[in-house]
Amino acid sequence: MSDLPRRAVTRTAKLAALPLGFAGRATWGLGKRIGGYSAELVGNELQQRTAEQLFRVLGELKGGAMKFGQALSVFESALPEEIAGPYRATLTKLQEAAPPMPAGTVHGVLAESLGEDWRELFEEFEDKPSAAASIGQVHRGVWHDGREVAVKVQYPGAGDALISDLAQLGRFARLLGPLVPGMDVKPLITELRERVTEELDYALEAEAQRGYADQFADDPDVWVPDVVHQGDCVLVTEWMTGVPLSEVIAEGGEEARDRAGQLLARFLFSGTARTGLLHADPHPGNFRLIPGEDPDSPPAEWKLGVLDFGTVDRLPDGLPPTIGTALRLALDGDGDAVYAMLREEGFVKDSVDLEPDAVLDYLLPIIEPARVEAFTFSRGWMREQAARIADPRSPAHQLGKQLNLPPSYLLIHRVTLSTIGVLCQLGATVALRDEMADWVPGFDPSPPEETGAPLDDTAPEA
């Protein structure tokens, strides 16, 4: 592949093939069942083929297609295990890799953005990318002052590709719904489209990253690489070494998983309070676990390294106090006060009339991690919540359909759900309540209860 596929007709055809492929494989599966193959064998093969096609198409197209795949990948914990297996490996690939641009294209972007003499800015520059994402890929280099750097190069035509892909994905959003039961993918696609301009603007990204790097410069738990240089389509930052979070999810021990989960929760809540910005792309490809000075140091001494500040929510006053106050009231069992606050903030429209106790019953299982001193997140717990909300026969499903999500809370809601999805992939035990008490305005917890566990008996998976 010589470049990011930019012709709208080509991209549209590839994306349109996804739902057609899903339908075709369903017919193929029915044929094999009639031919005498077992339902389990056919189902596993069907899911494997679907996962392979999904990764191939979204990964090749990059742009908005790959961004959608990355956003979707953090919710695989909600899938039933017999379906999640094949998707887990293929969607996780989207968090760390994609087919690269050729060196000639990379050099052209560098020359256009940094000048024809761009090589003089580097002591070394590796043509082979070390990572690839939705709108750009990263190359390792050594800056002219001797610092190791990461050079983020934007794909030519990335803007057009983002807009075209997300518009096309929006047209058949309903057909993509079964990928994650209980999740409406259309609002996700709409929100991604609204962030296109910011995602492409490396000046905005550099400003956000500098803000985070400055606030966390001396932090014992979190490290953000500083910006070294920024051009129109090139962003140079300090190089980060460490263990990708996806590796910790796949093969990390219990200590490493718990440490990663605690630091991820701490970063989610403290980052906004300290910077006035919400890092809004929390998929595992954007995080690293960084050992201490001694490479063999225990996980308790590791830091969380954070990458990619292209998508942020600007919250100069931090998270809205409504969130913390409503959570506290719900944990205290004050359904009337919670309902009044949700109505005042627009979560319940004036035309809708609900029972406060029913709203409280809907919320309590979801906020269980904040009720106890420490909570063990798991795929089993995530699946239980997804099933409860997705089942049309469930009171939770019926009530959820009547709730409204105000636009100002949309990105906060997605980031929170995505982070919980990653915590469930980790199977981490996290003192979430402590982090919220420290950083979430309005959250004034009562004395903690005993250490908690998921609402089912499913053990965290390796």
Spatial distance between the Cα atoms of 157 and 3, rounded to a whole number of angstroms: 9
* SS3 state at 60: helix
Matching residue, tokens 């719900």: 330
Residue 353's pLDDT band (cuts 50, 70, 90): very high
Domains of the chain: 8-97+159-194 (no CATH), 103-158+197-238 (3.30.200.20), 321-439 (no CATH)
Please check the confidence at residue 74 and state whether its pLDDT lies above 90. no
Spatial distance between the Cα atoms of 339 and 147, rounded to a whole number of angstroms: 54
Of 451, 448, 443, 452, nearest to 327 (Cα)? 443
Decide if 140 contacts 126 (C-beta within 8 A): yes
pLDDT at 85: 57
* Beta strand pairing call for 303-306 and 222-223: parallel
Percentage of the chain beyond pLDDT 90 is 48
Spatial distance between the Cα atoms of 42 and 47, rounded to a whole number of angstroms: 9
Token readout for 231 is 């051009």
Please check the confidence at residue 156 and state whether its pLDDT lies above 70. yes
Torsion of CA 100, 104, 107, 109, to 10 degrees: -70
Decide if 16 contacts 24 (C-beta within 8 A): no
Tell me which DSSP letter residue 449 carries.
Answer: B
Of 368, 404, 401, 405, nearest to 384 (Cα)? 368
Each residue's pLDDT tens digit, 176-218:
555 554 456 666 667 667 677 777 899 999 999 999 999 999 9
**Phi, psi of 427, deg, nearest 5:** 65, 35
pLDDT at 80: 57
pLDDT at 397: 81
Q: What is the C-alpha end-to-end distance of the chain, expressed in Å?
A: 35
Spatial distance between the Cα atoms of 219 and 81, rounded to a whole number of angstroms: 38
pLDDT at 179: 52
pTM: 0.77
Spatial distance between the Cα atoms of 28 and 34, rounded to a whole number of angstroms: 10
Of 346, 298, 358, 353, nearest to 322 (Cα)? 346
Angle at which helices 81-93 and 39-61 cross, to 10°: 20
pLDDT at 414: 84
pLDDT at 131: 82
β-bridge mates for residue 132, sequence order: 137
Decide if 272 contacts 320 (C-beta within 8 A): no
Spatial distance between the Cα atoms of 307 and 246, rounded to a whole number of angstroms: 14
Please check the confidence at residue 44 and state whether its pLDDT lies above 60. no
Q: What is the average pLDDT score of the chain?
A: 79
pLDDT at 410: 81
Per-residue CA distances from 276 to 85, 197, 239 (Å)? 38, 20, 25
Query: CA 277 from chain center: how many Å?
Result: 16
pLDDT at 389: 82
pLDDT at 303: 96
Per-residue CA distances from 90 to 50, 54, 271, 436 (Å)? 10, 8, 30, 33
The arithmetic mean of pLDDT across residues 146-170, rounded, is 80
Spatial distance between the Cα atoms of 69 and 48, rounded to a whole number of angstroms: 16
Each residue's pLDDT tens digit, 230-246:
999 999 999 999 999 98
Each residue's pLDDT tens digit, 160-180:
766 766 666 666 566 555 555
Matching residue, tokens 């931090």: 318
Token readout for 88 is 């887990």
Each residue's pLDDT tens digit, 244-291:
998 999 899 999 999 999 999 999 999 999 999 999 988 888 999 999
Spatial distance between the Cα atoms of 310 and 317, rounded to a whole number of angstroms: 20
pLDDT at 222: 97
Each residue's pLDDT tens digit, 95-128:
444 567 889 999 999 999 999 999 999 999 999 9
Please check the confidence at residue 43 and state whether its pLDDT lies above 80. no
The arithmetic mean of pLDDT across residues 347-355, rounded, is 91
Radius of gyration of the chain measured on its C-alpha atoms: 23
Q: Please, what is the Cα angle at 296 between 291 and 297, to 5 degrees? A: 60
Of 439, 435, 433, 431, nearest to 274 (Cα)? 439
Each residue's pLDDT tens digit, 303-327:
999 999 988 999 999 999 999 999 9
Please check the confidence at residue 228 and state whether its pLDDT lies above 80. yes
Please check the confidence at residue 39 and state whether its pLDDT lies above 50. no
Decide if 165 contacts 65 (C-beta within 8 A): yes
Decide if 417 contacts 379 (C-beta within 8 A): no
Please check the confidence at residue 452 and state whether its pLDDT lies above 60. no
DSSP strands (E only) in 298-344 = 303-306, 312-314
Each residue's pLDDT tens digit, 358-391:
999 999 988 999 999 999 999 889 888 887 887 7
Each residue's pLDDT tens digit, 405-426:
887 888 898 889 889 989 999 9
Spatial distance between the Cα atoms of 440 and 442, rounded to a whole number of angstroms: 6
pLDDT at 14: 59
Residue 29's pLDDT band (cuts 50, 70, 90): very low
